[in-house]
Amino acid sequence: MKINTKTAFRFAEKVVFGSANDCWNWVGAIKDNGYGNFYADGKTISAHRAAYILAYGTILSEQIMHTCDNRRCVNPHHLLNGTRQQNMEDMVLKGRSSSGEKRWNTTLTRERVNYMRKMFLSGKTPSQISKLLNYKYGTVYQIVTNRRWIEKA
């Protein structure tokens, strides 16, 4: 993204600014995942990535992480360079990861998972369970062998 005055002004028009400690919320285009979009140099990039580039000139890593966990925030003081691994660890540490029934696309419930495991312990094979309950073999296998839907201590 080229940094020039015109681009910076266009970006700023889509931000509700606050103090240095406040979130600066993006009020431009928003993607389905809640992150802002900004169009510059013939391509669309995430608004928080654009904010980082405008403030610091370049992105040194693959991800820009929010310290505030506000997807619409574009305050450069709330943004950090990081790896995907660091971003995922931060998400889990802050309790923002979705697993089990919290996942937006799950068709399973804790009750159904427990039922699958009971069937497995009673001698049914993952193949038999998958056919009986109409789930893919791989999904059932990973559940009954505790590779998915792992019980948290």
Q: What are the tens digits of pLDDT across the range 32-44?
A: 989 999 999 889 9
* pTM score above 0.85: no
Rounded to 5 degrees, φ, ψ at 110 are -60, -40
Tell me which of 22-26, 57-61, 128-132 is least confident: 57-61
Q: Say what the pLDDT of residue 97 is.
A: 64
- Model confidence at 153: pLDDT above 50: no
Instruction: Write out pLDDT tens, residues 79-91.
Output: 999 998 888 888 7
- pLDDT tens, position by position, 97-142: 655 666 655 678 889 999 999 999 999 999 999 999 999 999 999 9
Token match 């991800």: residue?
63
- Where do runs of H (alpha helix) occur along 1-151? 5-12, 47-56, 84-93, 110-121, 126-133, 137-144
**Topology, domain 5-93:** Homing Intron 3 (I-Ppo) Encoded Endonuclease; Chain A (3.90.75)
